[in-house]
Chain A
């Protein structure tokens, strides 16, 4: 199966400074891929290379299984991190202009834009000048201009920056809907909760290299360090005794429901969760036994730290 986007050994240097150092990953069709990385990791250069704004020194970019071309790039919906609008133009005229640059006819653009303006609740702003609208409103217009031509591949660089939580949720809903309709999405962001909520796959780059990649669930699963939450009814001493040497107790205290207790444990490497559950069930009444997988944020920090630690 061809991918919406496929990068192979992408390299780019500015003078002696290497910004991209052999980056390879794919964006499967219909998937939302989170592109993560600390500031200066090379995310923007990577995106600008895909968009043809900078020319990579080496490597192959394929779009829809075909070699990169300017014409194919025009089909991509691109929302750059540093984005803006013409202040002296009317909102509607400006959206039509951007749509036409993406190859849409004028009447088609107006029709599609009107529908999107309604979806994002900005229909009353069509005739306003950009200088008269709020920053959040302008962000919505930019989002609409990015998606109006129904791109097969969307590249969103920090799409939620500048949005209040209500509007951020509205945008997330639309991103999900687009993905559900088959749009492939590369989402570059520092907002880890949105990565957890949205992304099927994650690519983490640092210092121009991919340091972690894969399905988000798999990564969290493989990053599991034996952490477990247990909610129970019973005696703390009986609970501790039942743990024995199977797990290390991090904390214990009352849970939200009266008479219940919550403990946070870390299993020993050799202890299967089932064995611990059996041991605990014999001593106390176990109400919940939940595997605590690492957050994307902790995986991110771990991976970045690991990639920056010199090998011994």
Chain B
């Protein structure tokens, strides 16, 4: 019977919140905002690119030749200057004065002389900046064209033979573990950032939902519903129902965010890869541009590709459950001991200190994910929900994660029982003292 009563309380807490307009808006909006941020990052660069018609003045005749058929100068190196949607080249030996090439519709003039072979430098002349991408394209294309010229000039190789001989070395990180094994490693800083992003989300969710529990308990006291409730449900069961109910709301939101984000991202990827945003654009090798390649080229979106989403979401949910039960029950107990939300905020501060401390340490771990204190904090239940996520992202033995989670759950279980008694004392209390005074009374054993 007790179980079904708790179930009824859980159902009410869950239903009344997930059917609120604010919840629906927040749940629907968040994934689209976060995926929108990625979309914007990928697309905005392209969208904000102005069309550039670039005049390349090859005065020394290093990289171009006259095409007899068309009477135009064309690159000696095939494929070095690919045509892009908003980025086209024309080549001349001698450029007219600035006002003339501008009047002819060119937006950029690229100048260099023979010294480019030694000092690898030239000039980019424009009235309005052509944008970061345009500059990057010109630098890359010109580099390859000059490289082509140097190969032909200095070696007996032809260009295609050189291309085949050319190698790009890529180094993959391997870390030696304490046990002497080698594992995929390195990139700790990037992964530290990823871990911190997840722990920051967890910190926010714990703080926000803890605050909601506090408000809900205080509201029940002030609107006098609690007297009716505890006539039917024992205070400890009521607290458990409230904490689990609100936790279910948070989990619903996290799961909805994950699913909707995946859905939105997949839709965007499909649209992107099918050319909806990139019609006519090709990568260097002449293959169509795909989203993953594009994201990998961007510093911000590249981080997202580095995330092991399955592991991180699973760890976030697991440590959320433990952290939420622990902190949520403390918030509920405080709600029971105080008369107003304002009074509750004063009591919450010392309780939330470990959480804030772990957030600060977590942010420090971004730049130094191998801090000595991290392992200790990732096992200590009051800080483990936030800190362990950073370590999971950087890489940690599975048994450490399991042990830390077990410790967290056991502590949460104990705190829940203790919070239930404090909550009982608070909601059933009939005297004048509240907050700290009431807590002191209870601890001294007067609160029967």
Contact = CB atoms under 8 A, between A and B. Distances in A.
A143 to B, nearest CB: 12
Contact of A80 (B20, B227, B428, B430): B227
Interface string A76-90: 101010111111110
B5 interface: yes
Interface stretch (B114-122, B200-208, B231-239, B296-304): B231-239
Chain A interface secondary structure, helix, strand, loop or mixed?
A: loop
Given A14-B430, A101-B8, A83 B227 contact: yes
A86 B226 CA distance: 10
Task: Select the residue from A45, A53, A88 with max chain B CB neighbours within 10 A.
Answer: A53
B223 A78 contact: no
B231 A76 contact: yes
Nearest to B229: A101
B229 A84 contact: no
A97 B232 contact: no
A86 B223 contact: yes
A53 B428 contact: yes
B123 to A, nearest CB: 67
B228 A83 contact: yes
Contacts of B230: 53
Interface in A45-102: 45, 48, 51-55, 70-71, 73-74, 76, 78, 80, 82-89, 93, 97-98, 100-102
Interface in A32-52: 45, 48, 51-52
Interface size class of B (residues with CB under 8 A): 20 to 34
B231 A73 contact: yes
Interface in B26-78: none
Contacts of A80: 224, 227-228, 231
Contact of A15 (B9, B20, B231, B446): B446
A28 B1 CA distance: 29
A175 interface: no
A27 interface: no
Interface in A108-151: 142, 145
Contacts of B225: 83-86
B166 interface: no
Interface size class of A (residues with CB under 8 A): 20 to 34
A218 B229 CA distance: 38
A54 B448 CA distance: 8
A53 B231 contact: yes
Contacts of A86: 16, 223, 225
A91 to B, nearest CB: 13
Interface in B390-439: 428, 430-431
B12 interface: yes
A73 to B, nearest CB: 7
B241 to A, nearest CB: 10
B223 A145 contact: no
A102 B223 CA distance: 20
A54 B428 contact: yes
A48 B231 CA distance: 9
A60 B220 CA distance: 31
Given A83-B224, A85-B223, A14 B431 contact: yes
Given A71-B1, A87-B223, A51 B231 contact: yes
B16 A89 contact: yes
B246 to A, nearest CB: 14
A102 B8 contact: no
Contacts of A15: 446
B224 to A, nearest CB: 4
A63 to B, nearest CB: 13
A84 B266 CA distance: 48
A89 B20 CA distance: 10
B12 A97 contact: yes
Interface in B183-238: 223-225, 227-234
B227 A82 contact: yes
A101 B232 contact: yes
Contacts of A83: 224-225, 227-228
Given A84-B224, A100-B8, A74 B428 contact: no
B448 A55 contact: yes
B231 A145 contact: no
B1 A53 contact: no
Contacts of A98: 228, 232
B1 A54 contact: no
Interface string B228-261: 1111111000000000000000000000000000
A17 B359 CA distance: 48
16 contacts: A14-B431, A51-B231, A53-B230, A53-B428, A74-B231, A76-B231, A80-B224, A80-B228, A84-B225, A85-B225, A86-B16, A93-B16, A98-B232, A101-B8, A102-B232, A142-B228
Interface of B: 1, 5, 8-9, 12, 15-16, 20, 223-225, 227-234, 428, 430-431, 446, 448
Given A93-B15, A98-B232, 6 more contacts: A45-B430, A53-B428, A76-B231, A84-B228, A101-B8, A142-B228
